[in-house]
């Protein structure tokens, strides 16, 4: 279970505090539920994912995680640019206490990311797509109760997208997923429930189809 208690978020700009991206969000995301985040560009979907995953902190409020939550797949942060992909992976293995299993884990990460020799090159030389692939592979290399995905299914070529889709399907029954995608088909494929973000507010729907309908109605209005 993940609970968002009175979450507010805004960012500092050169002119001071910016407008509120998220305002007074109160949600309880039940366990074993795949959730799709829906909203216009700039609605705060990626921001909310980062808050849920702990990659960012709310301006006010609290995120309570009664489970193990991955960092956001597809989020380019959290990697040390001067280190190679392999060195970053080793560091994360140590954080998760997987020193004894490091060899097989590194092999899985390298095979899944499909970035070839760049696995041993500094991350600062990667394209955004390569960073997303590495983040995705790193997330899948460890066991989490909830995996967070930010448009990862649109990363890479068709073959990698198919691999990502299969990886999500393989999570069914052992972990849940919170994801955002511009594709309604993708959200329907993987998610049962939905959160519609609109004007800084979050609206929960038990059915992903109802969340998509509310979003479409807002666009048409």
pLDDT tens readout for residues 172-197: 778 999 999 888 998 998 899 999 99
Task: Report the first-to-last Cα separation within the chain, whole angstroms.
Answer: 34
Q: Residues in the chain with pLDDT < 70? A: 74-78, 152-157
pLDDT confidence of residue 76: 56
pLDDT confidence of residue 77: 60
pLDDT confidence of residue 150: 80
pLDDT confidence of residue 75: 59
CB atoms within 10 A of CB 80: 12
Whole-angstrom distance, CA of residue 124 vs CA of residue 83: 8
pLDDT confidence of residue 3: 96
pLDDT confidence of residue 51: 94
Q: Tokens standing for 94?
A: 């140590």
pLDDT confidence of residue 48: 95
pLDDT confidence of residue 79: 82
Q: How many helices (H) and strands (E) does the chain have?
A: 7, 11
């Amino acid at each position: 279970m993940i609970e968002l208690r009175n979450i507010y978020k805004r960012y500092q700009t050169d002119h001071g505090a910016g407008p509120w991206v998220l305002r007074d969000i109160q949600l309880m995301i039940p366990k074993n539920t795949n959730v799709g985040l829906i909203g216009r560009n700039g609605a705060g979907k990626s921001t909310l994912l980062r808050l849920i995953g702990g990659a960012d902190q709310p301006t006010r409020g609290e995120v309570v995680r009664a489970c193990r939550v991955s960092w956001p797949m597809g989020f380019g942060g959290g990697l040390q640019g001067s280190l190679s992909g392999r060195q970053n992976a080793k560091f994360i293995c140590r954080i998760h206490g997987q020193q004894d299993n490091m060899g097989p884990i590194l092999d899985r990460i390298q095979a899944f990311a499909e970035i070839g020799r760049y696995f041993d090159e500094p991350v600062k030389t990667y394209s955004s797509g390569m960073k997303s692939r590495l983040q995705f592979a790193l997330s899948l290399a460890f066991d989490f109760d909830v995996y967070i995905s930010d448009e990862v299914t649109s990363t890479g070529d068709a073959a990698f997208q198919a691999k990502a889709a299969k990886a999500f399907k393989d999570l069914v029954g052992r972990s849940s997923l919170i994801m955002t995608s511009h594709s309604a088909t993708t959200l329907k494929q993987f998610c049962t429930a939905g959160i519609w973000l609109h004007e800084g507010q979050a609206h929960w729907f038990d059915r992903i189809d109802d969340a998509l309908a509310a979003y479409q109605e807002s666009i048409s209005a």
